[in-house]
Chains A and B, each alone.
Chain A
Amino acid sequence: MDHDHHPKTDVHTEEAVVHDVAAPGPTFVAFFFIVTLAALALFVGFSDGLGPWKLTANLAIACVQAGILAFYLMDLRQADKVTWLIAASGVFWTSLFFLFTLTDYLTRYLGVL
């Protein structure tokens, strides 16, 4: 088998994303936002203002934190389409996991459990 070590000029292979490693600036900005959100989550957690919506608010904050972490610190922003597809698949299959499991339990008669 002929192993060609010379880079090919095939357009398809050149689409393999070769992106630069992010400069520190956006990293620090993303870090600042994540830490601020963490402090906000603690503030919400330690207060009684939101009542039963406290958990929803904290999970929403966690989702935003995860998004910033994924896009900026994990470099998903510059990733190629296949990587995006894999990341989206993980979220999609997990949501199916929750959807089907909770559909079962939430429609049962809880009095017998």
Chain B
Amino acid sequence: MAANVNGPVAHHFNNMGQQLATVRMGMWMFMATEILFFGGAFCAYAVYRLMYPKDFEAGSAALNVGIASVNTFLLLFSSLTITLAIRAAYTSRTKALGRYLCLTTLLGVAFLGLKAREYHMDYEEGLIPNVSTLSPEAKEKHAARMAALAAEGDRLEAEAKTKSGSEAAELRERGIELKARAAQPPVAFNENVKVVLSHNKAFKGRPLDEQTYDVGTPSAANAHDYDPFKVQLFFMFYYSMTGLHVLHMIIGVGLLTWQYVLTRRGFFDHNARFVYIEVMSLYWHFVDMVWMFLMPLLYLTGPHTAGEAIEMFKKSVGMTGGH
């Protein structure tokens, strides 16, 4: 069925059909390059995930899956509205076009707002790789844990005095080792992530740097143990991949705003210009598609429960008093 569009054809095209097809093709070519752009990040993630699966699952368990879930539906709904905007432009319903563009923009802004809140909460919880400060809760728990370690060290040294020979030497050595560990300055990110993971009811891992003695052979009990240093690696991927996605969203929101302004100025009164909306929609759908893959790879790979996701979201928007 031929498109019922009227408008000037640029000099280097034979007819409107060819012009429209070329515009669409150009946008698909751009998206092919974008696939490769994101593909690099996904590929690097795949490599390191294969190397450190348990640590990446631990990192995922520390993320705010509540916000991510809501963001998923916001983005999906915005894909619907931008698609309806194409039809509105094509049938010269400029008021409806303006409404759909506005709605899509608002949904995009809502996504970005929640994402900003998520980043801020990550900052407050100290989940920034190589961060140098402990979160308040981590500071308190670390101090308590180190005090307990030092006390245990003192106890072992006192017990060593009541023994003799190799037994006494061993006890004294363990006591000194525990006190030395207690005196070590904390690695802030490691302590922060331990605190966050302690709140995940489904997560059962133990950090390797708290296992005083041998890790032991793999078993169900230590199946989820993790190395907090490698969790930092996960968070590098988390920030860079979601950051790239956010950058694309910001560009998309800017373009949508511009198209909305053009709509108000009557630019889309000529229905041949619906293809501009279609090109915008292709970009927006691509950004949505990237999120469809980001979500399971980053957020759903670790253990979460639906109740926990709801609680996290409530906490994010200030609907609850505590964790």
Interface residues of A: mostly helix, strand, loop or mixed? Answer: helix
Q: Knowing A21-B86, A38-B73 are in contact, say whether A66-B292 is a contact too (CB < 8 A).
A: yes
Is there contact, CB below 8 Å, between B289 and A41?
no
**Residues on the A chain within 8 Å of B293, using CB:** 59, 62, 66
Q: Knowing A94-B39, A97-B36 are in contact, say whether A16-B86 is a contact too (CB < 8 A).
A: no
Q: Knowing A16-B21, A19-B3 are in contact, say whether A58-B296 is a contact too (CB < 8 A).
A: yes
Tell yes or no: B147 within 8 A of A by CB. no
Shortest beta-carbon distance, B313 to chain A, in Å? 12
| A74 touches which of B17, B285, B304, B305 (Cβ 8 Å) | B285
**Residues on the A chain within 8 Å of B43, using CB:** 97-98, 101-102
Tell yes or no: B76 within 8 A of A by CB. yes
Query: In the assembly, what is the distance between CA of A62 and CA of B69, in Å?
Result: 14
Is there contact, CB below 8 Å, between A16 and B79?
no
Is there contact, CB below 8 Å, between A89 and B32?
yes
Is there contact, CB below 8 Å, between A102 and B46?
yes
Tell yes or no: B51 within 8 A of A by CB. yes
Is there contact, CB below 8 Å, between B46 and A54?
no
**Residues on the A chain within 8 Å of B29, using CB:** 86
Is there contact, CB below 8 Å, between A8 and B14?
yes
Instruction: Name, among B28, B42, B303, B306, the residue most crowded by chain A CB atoms within 10 Å (CB to CB).
Output: B28
Interface residues of B: mostly helix, strand, loop or mixed? Answer: helix
Top-8 shortest CB links A-B: A45-B300, A18-B17, A58-B296, A90-B32, A16-B18, A13-B14, A7-B15, A90-B35
Query: In the assembly, what is the distance between CA of A29 and CA of B79, in Å?
Result: 13
Q: Knowing A21-B87, A27-B83, A69-B285 are in contact, say whether A16-B28 is a contact too (CB < 8 A).
A: no
Is there contact, CB below 8 Å, between B274 and A58?
no
Shortest beta-carbon distance, B173 to chain A, in Å? 30
Query: In the assembly, what is the distance between CA of A59 and CA of B296, in Å?
Result: 7
Shortest beta-carbon distance, B206 to chain A, in Å? 19
**Residues on the B chain within 8 Å of A98, using CB:** 39, 42-43, 46
Question: CB-defined interface of A1-41 with B at 8 Å, one 1/0 digit per residue?
Answer: 00111011010011011111111100110010011001001
Query: In the assembly, what is the distance between CA of A48 and CA of B305, in Å?
Result: 9
Query: In the assembly, what is the distance between CA of A86 and CA of B35, in Å?
Result: 11
Tell yes or no: B20 within 8 A of A by CB. yes
Chain B residues numbered 31-90 whose CB sits less than 8 Å from any CB in chain A:
31-32, 35-36, 39-40, 42-43, 46-47, 50-51, 65, 69, 72-73, 76, 79-80, 83-84, 86-87, 90
Is there contact, CB below 8 Å, between B296 and A27?
no
Is there contact, CB below 8 Å, between A80 and B25?
yes
Q: Knowing A18-B2, A24-B84 are in contact, say whether A110-B51 is a contact too (CB < 8 A).
A: yes
**Residues on the B chain within 8 Å of A41, using CB:** 295-296, 300
